[in-house]
Structure 1
């Protein structure tokens, strides 16, 4: 028995499934906590010279791989038609790659398996539940993005604590090294040796929950690829009908050929008995349809001719005068002389396109008062003005709907400067959050906050801040503009980047600042899918989001290069001034640059689905007007 669920129920289940699925596949932001453990492990293997700054390379590599996987998810949805199938494949591969990474013997192998392959599959998962949530709740895109991305960011909060308990239950300290970093070696080498088993345990949890979560993702009839399938199905039906018609015509030809052969009368009778009744009925029906069509065409021509004659006869006649004239004609119809007289008066009533009142001052029109004529003209002007306003409203509605649909094609987007400025804005807005997320432990050591349990708790709280703030920022997006919300986030970044150095006096102060900066990180990452869909529409925006992610990837690579080259020279405090400049430029850009695009001008014709909406709206308007007239 098939279970039919309401659309709202399906939407809620999709949100729950998306939350759980992204919760299990958000290990990219977990790397800030795993780095020192994994680096320490491979230093005990064959990469003895591996340092923490090189280990940080996985973060930008994984983010770049994640961006490559983003468009793959929508393509897989289009291929399989069912999101639960495509997501099940991607999630299974992602989790298995995490498990396999625990068996690698060299750090570059770990980068390939954990960073690249798992990163690509995680990217193919990320946007699909968000996209389907948009289809189920088109008026609550902020809430949809917030719930899904909350799960993605929450991964680092929960599993950061779990990983710490698995590898370092005794809270053994890190040992300082001559390269300027600290590792788990010497008396705490057991922590590094426990890393593979901890990764495998987390991978099995990811896999089991992901399989269940994918089955909660529901099919939506308007998802990408479904319209093309419906069109192909209709085309196939038409082709089948044409084939049936060709077969009937072929059989008719066989009947004609056999009827001309005198020596095969018996075969002819057999062929005629096969389909003669059907063919005769078909020919009769076609003849009836043709006759009816001819009659309809003749009737339409008659109606058009009558309308044209009536229009020519009454084109310049004042309606009130016609009414008076018809009344007199009925009263004196018995008098032949009066009838001739009235026909003469009718001729006098014919006016020019721009009637001259002085010319007709003494004619029959003088029976109609000047006030009535003026009233008639005013009514016409009011009607014309009303029609004009209605036309403006209709055009405004069409333009609004076309803009909500987004661009007619992806190719049009690449011609707009807003796409590239948006990528730059993403690069500027996310920089501070990424460098803190990837290096908060190193900064804490520089500030002499080296307690391992404190750092683990700090990382988990940062992950929680990254996650829990996303629904809040996205709910605000449903009420306030993206511009206003991002201005607030950038102002927070400007303040925290300038004051971060003062947190070295107290670890609680430092933890609060890390928490706040992770709030800005989550806000930027959570709002960008909404920003993308607001500018480009849901369908095109889902395919373009990978290009917006490019700005985040470049920002992560940038922070990696900055830390590698400048950390030992100028220190983190001075590096943060670079991110102060980035946030300031981003604030100026979002304040003065216009990101909205009028997509309506790029449409050569109105899409069919929008035409049906306009026709429905027009019919509803006419019905309302009719009800109003009846009530009056």
Structure 2
């Protein structure tokens, strides 16, 4: 029979696999824009890119809602709420025919639905294997990225099975935009209905597999680890007198033959010595396992910080603000790889392969980031990510002229973005314990939401006014600032 913990982690991973399809927004939005263009010719492709960034922002902000639901009810009920809203939003979007409706319903509500279910599923998975939280986080969060890779192909197969190319049209402001023809655009409602039906099946299976946890009990246990019981052998065993008399709790005396007493005493002493030796041998692996659990699961086990106290720590600010700066590089690559490639003159098929390969590696490499974290610490893993991003951004303007290098460099940035998302949850738990760490994580993730908004302004304004090479040097500089701060990072919180 399959271990119940394994099934629960599988269910959590399947939940992330489904709600991770918010990353399909960049792929399906051109189809949606073309559908809206049939009734509103003032809409442009650029104006609808904001849907994805709003989706990511509300996804990050919804972690606070998720935290409240988990505390008031249970994590699984939180998944129920997020999954139900996610399915309803996709179904309703099929009826949307104007940009405002799409921005509000799909952009705001879909992100909120995903962000509500995301942390609950992750925390349930981590609770199953706390000593392997990095690996478990990598598997579950990796599924979040892989879901987008799979459903990108499904959505495209539904809307544009014949691979029809978009045509050029002059929009209201006199600029030329490319839209898909009516035969393709009219398939958008059908696409949303089919996707929503698939999501319903997948999330139903996921919820069936997931076993709920009592987060209050786990938080209490994490804050107050049980102390080993002290056995008083004098109280547990009868006391023997020199005269072969046994004294019980009621002070009754029972006389024995001296030889029997001596024989019994020798047997008892031999038995006690054997039992104590056996207990020590049995407890030794447990002691080592407990020591390893403390080292990997929580660093500041003697501290019981509230979320407000955690916000005042140097570690919180070093992570939060650094992730806003360094998160922009990977998110920019994820959002704008096609825009960059078009400027370099690369064909659409090649760029699609680049984005697809980046997405799948973004997800599949997250377990490795988690394993790396389990073996080392936050600073080591984050420094590797930052150094990699700096090298990629500094050299990209020169190597991007070559197709293989262009693909490899961008895929590496995709992988670094996955590393950012993988680090936050286990780091929060390791530094602040489960009780406070789960709450701190909901604030850490906001940093990636703010980084996403930065990506939007960079994509819409900076890439137009700045030379691409200068822009990448700026991204390298932002990661450099984070690197300097991280060099002085310590997971141990010092109390004055």
Whether these two folds match at TM > 0.5 is yes
Corresponding residue for 1:259? none
Structure-to-structure mapping, 1:66-81, within 5 angstroms? 66-81=59-74
Corresponding residue for 1:103? 95
Deviation per CA, 1:451-494: give whole Å up to 9, x if none. Answer: 3x433333222210110010011011111122111111111111
Kept in 2: contact 1:157–1:462 (CA 8 A)? no
Counterpart check, 1:183 vs 2:80? no
Corresponding residue for 1:351? none
Counterpart check, 1:553 vs 2:449? yes
Counterpart check, 1:155 vs 2:147? yes
Corresponding residue for 2:131? 139
Q: In the aligned structure 2, how far is the partner of 1:211 from the partner of 1:406?
A: 39
Corresponding residue for 2:187? 194
Corresponding residue for 1:25? 19
Deviation per CA, 1:379-436: give whole Å up to 9, x if none. Answer: xxxxxxxxxxxxxxxxxx99x9782365331121122232222111111221111111
Kept in 1: contact 2:15–2:203 (CA 8 A)? yes
Q: In the aligned structure 1, how far is the partner of 2:301 from the partner of 2:3?
A: 25
Counterpart check, 1:213 vs 2:206? yes
**Displacement of 1:189 after TM fit?**
4.1
Counterpart check, 1:416 vs 2:313? yes
**Displacement of 1:578 after TM fit?**
1.6
Corresponding residue for 2:326? 429
**Displacement of 1:58 after TM fit?**
1.7
Corresponding residue for 1:117? 109
Which of residues 476, 484, 497 is equivalent to 2:372? 476
Kept in 2: contact 1:76–1:86 (CA 8 A)? yes
Tell me the secondary structure at the aligned position of residue 105 of structure 1: coil
Q: In the aligned structure 1, how far is the partner of 2:488 from the partner of 2:299?
A: 25
Unaligned 5+ runs, structure 2: 221-293
Kept in 1: contact 2:24–2:152 (CA 8 A)? yes
For the pair shown, which has the larger CA radius of gyration, 1 or 2?
1
Corresponding residue for 1:363? none
TM-score of the two chains, using structure 2 as the length reference: 0.78
Structure-to-structure mapping, 1:297-376, within 5 angstroms? none
Tell me the secondary structure at the aligned position of residue 547 of structure 1: helix
**Aligned-CA RMSD value:** 2.7
Structure (1/2) with the larger helix percentage: 1
**Displacement of 1:446 after TM fit?**
1.2
Q: In the aligned structure 1, how far is the partner of 2:393 from the partner of 2:471?
A: 9
Kept in 2: contact 1:176–1:183 (CA 8 A)? yes
Q: In the aligned structure 2, how far is the partner of 1:227 from the partner of 1:509?
A: 47
Q: In the aligned structure 1, how far is the partner of 2:143 from the partner of 2:391?
A: 28
Deviation per CA, 1:3-45: give whole Å up to 9, x if none. Answer: xx9xx93321221001000100012322232232222322222
**Displacement of 1:565 after TM fit?**
1.7
Q: In the aligned structure 2, how far is the partner of 1:33 from the partner of 1:227?
A: 40
Unaligned 5+ runs, structure 1: 229-396, 603-632
Tell me the secondary structure at the aligned position of residue 157 of structure 2: helix
Q: Which moved more, 1:35-44 or 1:539-548?
A: 35-44
**Displacement of 1:227 after TM fit?**
7.6
Tell me the secondary structure at the aligned position of residue 183 of structure 1: strand
Q: In the aligned structure 2, how far is the partner of 1:74 from the partner of 1:151?
A: 21
Q: In the aligned structure 1, how far is the partner of 2:319 from the partner of 2:449?
A: 14
Which of residues 516, 523, 528 is equivalent to 2:419? 523
Corresponding residue for 2:410? 514
Which of residues 31, 35, 39 is equivalent to 1:41? 35
Counterpart check, 1:457 vs 2:353? yes
Kept in 1: contact 2:299–2:431 (CA 8 A)? no
Tell me the secondary structure at the aligned position of residue 57 of structure 1: helix
Kept in 2: contact 1:96–1:207 (CA 8 A)? no
Kept in 1: contact 2:369–2:381 (CA 8 A)? yes
Counterpart check, 1:586 vs 2:488? no
Deviation per CA, 1:315-373: give whole Å up to 9, x if none. Answer: xxxxxxxxxxxxxxxxxxxxxxxxxxxxxxxxxxxxxxxxxxxxxxxxxxxxxxxxxxx
Tell me the secondary structure at the aligned position of residue 218 of structure 1: coil
Tell me the secondary structure at the aligned position of residue 493 of structure 2: coil
Corresponding residue for 2:338? 441
Deviation per CA, 1:287-334: give whole Å up to 9, x if none. Answer: xxxxxxxxxxxxxxxxxxxxxxxxxxxxxxxxxxxxxxxxxxxxxxxx
Q: In the aligned structure 2, how far is the partner of 1:196 from the partner of 1:470?
A: 33
Structure-2 change in CA distance of 1:61 and 1:590 (3 Å): same
Q: In the aligned structure 2, how far is the partner of 1:444 from the partner of 1:164?
A: 20
Deviation per CA, 1:503-533: give whole Å up to 9, x if none. Answer: 5434343222221111111111111111211
Q: In the aligned structure 2, how far is the partner of 1:115 from the partner of 1:160?
A: 17
Corresponding residue for 2:304? 407
